[in-house]
Amino acid sequence: MTSAAHAPAHATLPARPRKIWMDGRLVDPADACVSVYDHGLLYGDGCFEGLRGYRGRIFKMDAHLRRLEESAERLRLRIPYSRAELAAAMKETMAACEKPDCYIRLVVTRGAGTLGLNPFTCPRPGVIIVVDTIQLYPHELYRSGMKVIVAKRPRIPVECLDPAIKSLNYLNNILAKIESIDAGVLEAIMLNVHGDVSECTGDNIFAIKGGRIATPPTSAGILHGITRQFVIDELAPALGIPVEERRMSLDDLYGADEVFLTGTAAEIIGVSAIGDRTIGIGRMGPMTERLEAEFRRRILAGAPED
């Protein structure tokens, strides 16, 4: 019998099943529907998490679920499932989709209510789990590094909409992402309204200078990134690299030996240039390579779920 790995080039391999988890049941994607009165659709009222599955294990699952709960609490949104139930639901969906290596989108919407902003007309939040694949950046950029720009659009001030709340309202990020696409690159650095470096449209940012890592503090108006924290708390200390959280200017990035980005979907990727300025050696630098290799080693050893 011919195995799938050695099937003829013209052979059609069976497609993996696709299922969406919606409020306690698995449905086909065509049947995964939300009400046109759902305030998540009408007003971006809700929160979400993006997680990664590696060999059937969900990377930093506990930290993601804690952050989801914190976002929901600040929105005064009651998640109708426990942390254990959400964890089981994500594993169930991964198994149903036969995707042990995947990207998971866990969404909590305000639910269906009346027209108008009042969130308390929505009697029950909705919960959706999508399991699929994702590739933000081409594989070759993880060796060569990626070019980015500085967005003209600043990050929303914390006092207006705290980016620590991972809400369904991503228009600030999307408008900056459009700037990067128009410039022919895949990511943009966002500054806060004070001109300090904040984060990118979908990634946190780090700079390396003289063997030390610096990254903007959470007070700069950034998402409290799970992979960012993994670098700060575990990867860098394991490699003996000191990390400092501090206010950063664009000059800190332009003068850095290396710059790299982190995110659940992006993992760890180096920056080769910011606009027309080459960063360091113009490709992924050696310390970033060490961090990425340590990240990969730990994932292959069994992605930590706590």
- Catalytic residue numbers? 166
Say how far residue 164 (Cα) sits from the centre of its chain.
13
Q: Which two tokens stand for residue 75?
A: 């929105």
β 267-274/146-150 pair status: parallel
Answer positive or negative: Cα dihedral of 75, 81, 87, 93. negative
Q: Is 220 exposed, middle or buried (0-12, 13-18, 19+ CB in 10 A)?
A: buried
**Contact in structure between 60 and 267 (CB atoms under 8 Å):** no
Residue 304 CB neighbour total at 10 angstroms? 17
> For residues 244 and 222, what is the distance between their CA atoms, to the nearest angstrom?
16
Cβ burial, residue 82 (10 Å; 0-12/13-18/19+): exposed
Closest CA relative to residue 73, chosen from 167, 209, 188, 187: 167
How does strand 212-215 pair with strand 243-245? parallel
Looking up tokens 């080459």 gives 278
- For residues 70 and 226, give the distance between their C-alpha atoms in angstroms, rounded to a whole number: 14
User: Is the CB of residue 257 less than 8 Å from the CB of residue 285?
Assistant: yes
What are the E-state strand segments in 116-228?
Answer: 126-132, 146-150, 188-191, 197-200, 204-209, 212-215
If you ran DSSP here, which 8-state letter would residue 5 be given?
G
- How far is 75 from 45, CA to CA, in rounded Å? 8
